[in-house]
């Protein structure tokens, strides 16, 4: 007695081959499986995403410094003048959209589609609280006002283009303000590029090294009614050139000052213009 299991589908296929040898038994179409529609939509989305610019500038020539900074970062940039953008619209970028302040108020922010993850930046030509409130109401993520510190601009653009996982738990905010720095008994000046609840990044001419104690004093225009002094240690010091300034990573000591939270809250939508 045979132990082979009975397969009715196999018997039917064999009978069809005997009766109609020229008939194609195997279907030439693929059955639609569960999830095939989602897979097709994902493939179309990937193809459409690959044709979109990595970074898009919408201006009439006033964002040349932004274009140069992006190209120095190795980012491919597509540029569109405001007339073309108004007539035929623009393709949504993959990571970054930078619009001049006047164009932002005229054109508005593009409507985000599902799955979009790009940062929108409005660059204002001059300090204007009404324009800043206007672009914020339109949904722009960041509004920065000229004059722009070159180091701060580069850091801001680099973070907007970053696609990986953020290693730091605390959010960092770009600043670009001149602050006072003390190491020992001597006070000097430095450019505060980044600020967070746990530390900051400065560019300084002072001969500081990892492990040195420092005090950083934020001016009253940034800290509120009076200056705010933060104490910490240099965790990393890198000199850009043998005779150039150093980039210092500083970690605050002890518990963060309560007033620091108020300062960071004001930096969430972009750095205020320096005095």
What number is the average pLDDT over the span 193-209?
91
- pTM for this model (two decimals): 0.68
Stronger pLDDT, 28 or 251, i.e. the higher one: 251
| Residue 146 predicted with pLDDT over 80 | yes
Under the banding of pLDDT at 50, 70 and 90, the label for residue 199 is very high
What is the predicted pLDDT for the residue at 216?
Answer: 94
What is the predicted pLDDT for the residue at 48?
Answer: 47
Q: Which CATH homologous superfamily contains domain 49-161?
A: Response regulator (3.40.50.2300)
pLDDT digits (tens, 9 = 90+) for 208-263: 889 999 999 999 988 887 899 999 999 999 987 777 888 999 999 877 778 898 89
End-to-end alpha-carbon separation of the chain, Å? 97
Q: At the topology level of CATH, where does 173-265 sit?
A: Thrombin, subunit H (2.40.10)
What number is the average pLDDT over the span 69-75?
89
Q: Which of 107-121, 160-174, 243-257 has the lowest mean pLDDT?
A: 160-174
Using CA atoms, how far apart are residues 269 and 156, in angstroms rounded to an integer? 12
Using CA atoms, how far apart are residues 156 and 273, in angstroms rounded to an integer? 15
What number is the average pLDDT over the span 139-151?
84
Stronger pLDDT, 172 or 33, i.e. the higher one: 172
List, by residue range, all CATH 3.40.50.2300 domains of the chain.
49-161
Whether residue 224 has a cis bond before it, omega within 30° of 0: no
**Which of 123, 130, 129 is CA-nearest to residue 145?**
123
Residues 6+ apart with CB under 8 A from 211: 233, 234
List, by residue range, all CATH 2.40.10.220 domains of the chain.
173-265
Under the banding of pLDDT at 50, 70 and 90, the label for residue 43 is very low
């Amino acid at each position: 007695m045979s132990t082979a299991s009975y397969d009715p589908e196999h018997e039917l296929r064999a009978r069809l081959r005997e009766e109609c040898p020229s008939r194609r038994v195997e279907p030439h179409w693929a059955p639609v499986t569960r999830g095939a529609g989602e897979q097709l939509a994902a493939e179309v989305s990937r193809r459409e995403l690959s044709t979109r610019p990595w970074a898009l500038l919408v201006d009439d020539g006033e964002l040349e410094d932004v274009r140069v900074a992006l190209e120095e970062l190795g980012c491919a940039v597509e540029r569109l003048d405001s007339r073309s953008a108004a007539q035929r619209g623009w393709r949504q970028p993959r990571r970054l959209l930078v619009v001049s302040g006047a164009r932002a108020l005229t054109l508005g922010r593009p409507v985000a589609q599902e799955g979009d993850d790009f940062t929108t930046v409005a660059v204002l030509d001059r300090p204007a609280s009404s324009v800043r409130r206007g672009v914020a109401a339109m949904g722009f993520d960041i509004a920065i006002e000229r004059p722009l510190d070159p180091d701060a601009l580069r850091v801001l653009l680099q973070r907007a283009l970053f696609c990986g996982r953020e290693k730091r738990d605390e959010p960092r905010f770009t600043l670009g303000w001149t602050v006072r720095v003390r190491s020992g008994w001597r006070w000097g000046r430095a450019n505060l590029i980044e600020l967070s609840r746990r530390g900051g990044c400065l560019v300084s001419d002072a001969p500081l090294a990892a492990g040195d104690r420092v005090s950083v004093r934020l001016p009253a225009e940034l800290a509120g009614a009076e200056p705010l002094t933060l104490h910490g240690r240099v965790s990393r010091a890198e000199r850009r050139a043998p005779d150039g300034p150093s980039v210092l990573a500083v970690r605050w000591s002890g518990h963060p000052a309560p007033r620091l939270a108020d300062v960071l809250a004001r930096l969430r939508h972009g750095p205020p213009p320096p005095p």
